[in-house]
Amino acid sequence: SAQIADLQQKLLDADNGDRAKQRWDSIATILEAKCALKYLLGELVSSRVQESKLQSGLEQSQASCSDVQKMLMEERNHIAELEAEFQNQILVQEQQHQEKVNHSSWK
């Protein structure tokens, strides 16, 4: 049934496309041409407004992505610092343990 609905929608879209083409092909007077031109200019303005909104949204998303990437890099650096500190603490603990073992064996 989903395929049937999809095919029905494609047929409707094709019919609408054919009707629009027939309308444009049947323009016969200056008045009709002016109306068509007015319609097209309105569509152009609408498209430009939509493009502007999309561009603005894209720029905001890019800025947000850049902020997230910066935060991620800062977190990675912080984790690397913590890991280095942890490794240093392990080394100190191992050295202290080794000193205790060596000190105990001398007694």
Give dist(CA 14, CA 10) in Å, integer.
6
Number of domains in the chain: 1
- Residue 56 is predicted with a pLDDT of 96
Give dist(CA 83, CA 77) in Å, integer.
10
- Share the mean pLDDT of the chain: 88
Band of the pLDDT at 80, cuts 50, 70, 90? very high
**Residue 36 near residue 27 (C-beta atoms within 8 A):** yes
* Domain carrying residue 102: 2-106
pTM of the model: 0.52
- What distance, in Å, lies between the first and last C-alpha atoms of the chain? 89
